[in-house]
């Protein structure tokens, strides 16, 4: 029997290194003006740059829109995320 793929489609679109759209985002872990860490079904994506600003984040559709200067997009494998309290009391 074929395996059913229940993963949300993940599409990354970058216009002129200043307008980024990512689909299939499940969660955003952290963000500031130089880095955004988001999770998709295909791995963690880290967006690095300057003056980064989240313009839209939709939990229902999984769309993430970012403006600012994008210098890097880095995918890594999904790792089990730690509970906020565990991070706090390390």
Of 54, 19, 14, the C-alpha closest to 36 is 54
* CATH architecture entry for 12-88: Sandwich (2.60)
Q: Rounded distance, CA 18 to CA 1, Å?
A: 44
Question: According to the model, what pLDDT value does residue 71 have?
Answer: 98
**Is residue 1 very low, low, confident or very high in pLDDT (cuts 50, 70, 90)?**
very low
**What sign does the CA torsion over 65, 87, 75, 34 have?**
positive
Tens digits of residue pLDDT in 16-70: 999 999 999 999 999 999 999 999 999 999 999 999 999 999 988 999 999 999 9
Provide the pairing of β-strand 19-22 with 25-31. unpaired
**What sign does the CA torsion over 51, 69, 63, 27 have?**
negative
Q: Which alpha helices (H) appear in the chain, and where do they start and end?
A: 84-88
- pTM of the entire predicted model: 0.79
Domain borders along the chain are 12-88
Under DSSP, the state recorded for 82 is P
Please give the structure tokens belonging to residue 80.
């089990």
């Amino acid at each position: 029997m074929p395996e059913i793929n229940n993963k949300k489609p993940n599409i990354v679109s970058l216009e002129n290194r200043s307008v980024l759209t990512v689909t299939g985002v499940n969660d955003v872990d952290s963000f500031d003006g130089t880095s955004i860490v988001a999770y998709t079904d295909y791995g963690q994506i880290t967006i690095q740059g300057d003056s980064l600003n989240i313009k839209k984040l939709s939990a229902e559709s999984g769309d993430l829109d970012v403006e600012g200067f994008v210098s890097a997009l880095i995918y890594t494998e999904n790792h089990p995320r730690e509970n906020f309290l565990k991070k706090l009391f390390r």
